[in-house]
Structure 1
Amino acid sequence: MNSELLRRLGPFRDEAAEQGIPDEDVERWIATARPAATLVTRGEGPVVGRFGGPLMLPADAPTPWSPLLATLDCAALSEAVTGLQLLPDGTLLLLGFPDPAYPYSAGEVVYVPAGAPVEERIPHHPSVPGNDGTGGNDLDGTLGRIYEQFPDEELRLAADVSLPFHGMVTMEEPPYAVPLPGHPRSGELAELWRKAAEQVVADGPLQIGGYASHECVEGDPVRAAASDALGWLRDRAARSGGSAEEEELPAPEEWVLLAQWDGGLDGREGSTLHWVIPRGDLAEGRVDRAYVSFFWNP
């Protein structure tokens, strides 16, 4: 972890000291810090992608269901900044929609190699003007009004540091939640970080890498999304006539946060999309197992 980024955790250390949390507990927590990139729509940082714009795909790529949210330049997002080993070039397309009707993944990820010939596509989602109607049409309804609010502007890089926003490991049986292993005061420390992060982390709508959060965090959102993803992958394999057992599926702890979008949209206030993916898939440019979770507390 970059020492300069760690120095920015001063407000967190100060708050912990005021609360009387022992230094050794605080430093163990800080040792879990990860780099993360906050993508902002203003400032002096380099342009690393954009919200919105036309959906440009290779001719042999299938037309996706979900709308395009953002296009990211892999070469501009180094592992030192994001903690993720992306391919050295090409673009990643983040697609998704904050819709509670999704039975499984609320979006997808597409990788477009550098220099690949592309053509414009229109997603099938009923909120998108010009869609082919396979999913119906809701341009004047709730979905259409939400899609109209999708941003359309350049994304600039702000290098940040990330600590866990979750303080518990959740379980399906009693006691249902316990502190993170090795961190007996993890609940207090996570709560302090949620407050201190406002002074440390850039104010931007899209996060790449780091730890995930949403409006009501207790357990790790990535771990929860990964568990759902495994069920989705097994179901997808069964529907295609195969079996998920034919390939070794990564355990939930092997998944990472690729991106998080806190949209701030009217009609979806407090909602969050998380794009999660097995860590090893990123380095290989494999994105077909990426999963998008949708959290909303209306």
Structure 2
Amino acid sequence: MNTELRDRLRPFRDEALARGIPADDVERWLGTARPCVTLTREDGPEPVVGRFGGPLELPADMSTPGAPFVASIDLAALPADGTGLPLPHGGRLLFFAWPESEYPESAGQVVYVPEGAPVTERDKHESWNPGNVDEYRAMFDSYPQGPLRARVDVSLPYHTHLTPPGQRRSVLLPGHPRAEELVSVWEDAQDDIATDGPMQLGGYADEEAVYVDPVEVAVSTVTQAVESGSWEGPVSADPADWVLLADWFAGDDVARYEGSTVHWVIQREDLAARRFDRAFVTVYWNP
């Protein structure tokens, strides 16, 4: 974490100390901070790096993904090293997702379109549309549309527990006995530190109710998907081998699925090799 982002966390540090949390515990927690890029739909000075919706353009030899189109990101326009992820420096990432999923299957896809690759525009309803089902058409038509601006932010954990390998019961994050208090401080101080936006690249995953890291839940889901035959292995069962690629909080935008959060996760080795088709997608939705 660079000095600028650490300085931005000063309100968090000051509030944690004011609540009587020992300085050593606060500093260890700050050591977990990660950079991220928040994508916002608000007007402002930040650069436009992509958009919700818009035309669906894919390489001619690529089949149309089987999930609704959410957003496209111009990787060359992203702030340098803003996400903390080893993303390509050019091309586009296209994100697809349902706001619900049939556990343990992936709820969406990620497509990488290299810079300069010939593309053709597709019918966005081509492969996912289950027929004349009005509720699904209304759901897709309610997906947000419009430009996305990027701001480099800093992210701290929203979760307080993890599940040790081979165990079923979760434990408090090792080395962080004040984790619950520190998460509470972050929830209260975050608005003074980071931008509020519907989509995030990198950083820590968030959703309506967090106990363990949503990435850990996604890893558990994908390992069961491999066992059931709905996802091709091999995959690591260790959450440390995975990262959050992106979060999308649907908010009040998506008809019938208000409040759902989509998580796109990927193994570190797949990200480094640009195997974005290996991204797995989970959804948290509390109807």
Given the superposition, is the C-alpha separation of residues 253 and 172 from structure 1 closer, same or farther in structure 2, using an over 3 Å criterion? closer
1:232 is aligned, of 219, 225, 241, to: 225
Given the superposition, is the C-alpha separation of residues 13 and 286 from structure 1 closer, same or farther in structure 2, using an over 3 Å criterion? same
In 1, the alpha carbon distance for the partners of 2:168 and 2:279 equals: 31
In 1, the alpha carbon distance for the partners of 2:209 and 2:164 equals: 17
1:21-72 Cα shifts (integer Å, max 9, x gaps): 0111001000110000001112111111111011111111111111111111
In 2, the alpha carbon distance for the partners of 1:290 and 1:203 equals: 25
Residue in 1 aligned with 2:95?
Answer: 94
| TM-score calculated relative to the size of structure 1 | 0.88
Does residue 202 of structure 1 match 2:203?
no
Name the SS of the counterpart of 2:117 in structure 1: coil
Does residue 280 of structure 1 match 2:274?
no
Name the SS of the counterpart of 2:21 in structure 1: coil
Deviating above 6 A after TM superposition, structure 1's stretches of 4 or more consecutive aligned residues are: 171-175
Q: Residue 283 of structure 1: CA displacement? A: 2.5
Map residues 72-151 of structure 1 onto 2, 5 A cutoff.
Answer: 72-77=73-78, 80-101=81-102, 103-123=104-124, 128=125, 131=126, 135-138=130-133, 140-141=134-135, 143-151=136-144
Contact kept, 8 Å, 2:56 with 2:123, in 1: the verdict is yes
Given the superposition, is the C-alpha separation of residues 152 and 102 from structure 1 closer, same or farther in structure 2, using an over 3 Å criterion? farther
2:151 is aligned, of 158, 171, 185, to: 158
Name the SS of the counterpart of 2:81 in structure 1: helix
Given the superposition, is the C-alpha separation of residues 236 and 111 from structure 1 closer, same or farther in structure 2, using an over 3 Å criterion? farther
Residue in 2 aligned with 1:189?
Answer: 182
Percent of paired sites with the same residue: 49
Given the superposition, is the C-alpha separation of residues 236 and 112 from structure 1 closer, same or farther in structure 2, using an over 3 Å criterion? farther
Name the SS of the counterpart of 2:49 in structure 1: strand
How many residues in Structure 1 have an aligned counterpart in Structure 2?
A: 284
Name the SS of the counterpart of 2:29 in structure 1: helix
- What amino acid does structure 1 have at the position aligned with 2:259? G
Residue in 1 aligned with 2:69?
Answer: 68
- What amino acid does structure 2 have at the position aligned with 1:277? I
Name the SS of the counterpart of 1:288 in structure 2: helix
Does residue 37 of structure 1 match 2:58?
no
Given the superposition, is the C-alpha separation of residues 282 and 185 from structure 1 closer, same or farther in structure 2, using an over 3 Å criterion? same
Q: Residue 262 of structure 1: CA displacement? A: 0.5
1:93-144 Cα shifts (integer Å, max 9, x gaps): 0101202446511100001111111112235xxxx4xx36873332x22x22
- What amino acid does structure 1 have at the position aligned with 2:116? G
In 2, the alpha carbon distance for the partners of 1:134 and 1:145 equals: 11
Contact kept, 8 Å, 2:66 with 2:127, in 1: the verdict is no
Contact kept, 8 Å, 1:233 with 1:289, in 2: the verdict is no
- What amino acid does structure 2 have at the position aligned with 1:135? P
Residue in 1 aligned with 2:56?
Answer: 55
| TM-score calculated relative to the size of structure 2 | 0.91
Contact kept, 8 Å, 1:168 with 1:177, in 2: the verdict is yes
1:149-205 Cα shifts (integer Å, max 9, x gaps): 211111111110000010111469999332111111112111221221122110111
Q: Residue 88 of structure 1: CA displacement? A: 1.8
In 2, the alpha carbon distance for the partners of 1:171 and 1:225 equals: 15
- What amino acid does structure 2 have at the position aligned with 1:204? G
Q: Residue 236 of structure 1: CA displacement? A: 4.3
- Of 10-19 and 271-280, more deviation after overlay is shown by 10-19
- What amino acid does structure 1 have at the position aligned with 2:58? L
Unaligned runs of 5+ in 1: none
In 1, the alpha carbon distance for the partners of 2:80 and 2:274 equals: 14
Unaligned runs of 5+ in 2: none
1:255 is aligned, of 231, 242, 265, to: 242
Name the SS of the counterpart of 2:82 in structure 1: helix
In 1, the alpha carbon distance for the partners of 2:165 and 2:271 equals: 30
